[in-house]
Amino acid sequence: MLPSGIFTSALFSLFLLCSLPGTYSVNLVTLGSIEIFNAHEWFPSKPTVYFHCQGEERKTFLPDVEKTHILYTFKGEESWQPLTELPEEKCKRCGVYEHDVFKSDDTFDEWELCPADFLDGKYFRFIENEFNATFLCSNCTASAEQSQNTATRHDKGKVGYIIIICSFVSLILAAGMVAAYRFWQKRKRDQDQARFLKLFDEGDDLEDELGLDPVVL
């Protein structure tokens, strides 16, 4: 019972380990902080700032950003986060805009937002007299991006390798487990036998002590 339980759990954990490289990352971009310098408004009214990427339906309004020259920082968990999701190796044309009721929206800046631009998961964008913002994407880090790229490029070969190594290790492990189980069984049997024989010996000793000769006649 016990060895087979260990055997199954070992195989199961190995299976989990082997299936890990199959997961891929999601490049979610959140806003870390923003400070706007120019409200683009003729009247001193509250600006309505939003983030938008071309080809996307959603405009992300930044409800808290109401004053210029104030640094707004975010946790990344706000109701309107994340801003967008980036493809693995492609940029998106995104921008920060100011919503206008009377005329067409003003543009703070519009640029190509690329996964490769994120350094240690951070991307600073400072446009003079417009804004200074920090965008976060923990899965977009340059190193992660690189390893991801190589992973996709060498995907087939690598996966094949991993499968071969994993099955090899599983086989060895399985053989080892079976051998260990056999050994354990044999040892148990030997022990039982030894105990049995010892019982016999003790029986003999008892007879000797009582002075009873073995019945030879």
Ligand X SMILES: *[C@@H]1O[C@H](CO)[C@@H](O)[C@H](O)[C@H]1NC(C)=O
Q: Which of 10, 28, 116, 127 binds ligand X (CB under 6 A)?
A: 28
Cα within 13 Å of Cα(4), Cβ side: 2
CB atoms within 10 A of CB 216: 4
Q: Which uninterrupted H or E stretch holds 135?
A: strand 131-136
The tokens for 24 are 């891929």
| CB closer to ligand X out of 75 and 195 | 75
The smaller minimum CB distance to ligand X, of residues 60 and 139, is found at 139
CB of 58 within 8 A of CB of 87? no
Distance CA 111, CA 121 (A): 18
23 counts as binding ligand X under rule CB under 6 A: yes
Supply the minimum distance, in Å, between the C-beta of residue 58 and ligand X.
17
Q: 135 and 118 in contact (C-beta within 8 Å)?
A: yes
Coil, strand or helix: which one is 71?
coil
Give me the 126-155 binding string for ligand X, x by CB under 6 A, dash otherwise.
Answer: x-----x-x---xx----------------
Q: Which is nearer to ligand X, 97 or 137 (CB)?
A: 137
Q: Of 5 and 22, which CB lies nearer to ligand X in the complex structure?
A: 22
What's the closest the beta carbon of residue 23 comes to ligand X, in angstroms?
Answer: 5
Q: Is 26 in the site for ligand X (CB under 6 A)?
A: yes
Hunting for tokens 């998961």 — which residue is that? 121
Size of the site for ligand X (CB under 6 A): 13
Distance between CA 83 and CA 125 in Å, rounded?
15
Give the span between the Cα atoms of 125 and 6, in whole angstroms. Answer: 54
Q: Closer to ligand X at the Cβ: 58 or 187?
A: 58
Query: CB 134 → ligand X: shortest distance, Å?
Result: 5
Beta carbon of residue 132, minimum distance to ligand X (angstroms, whole number): 4
Please report whether residue 84 would count as binding ligand X according to CB under 6 A: no
Out of 7, 11, 33, 177, the only residue in the binding site for ligand X (CB under 6 A) is: 33
State the DSSP code for 129. Answer: T
CB atoms within 10 A of CB 66: 15
Q: Is 81 in the site for ligand X (CB under 6 A)?
A: no
Positions that interact with ligand X (CB under 6 A) = 23, 25-28, 33, 71, 124, 126, 132, 134, 138-139
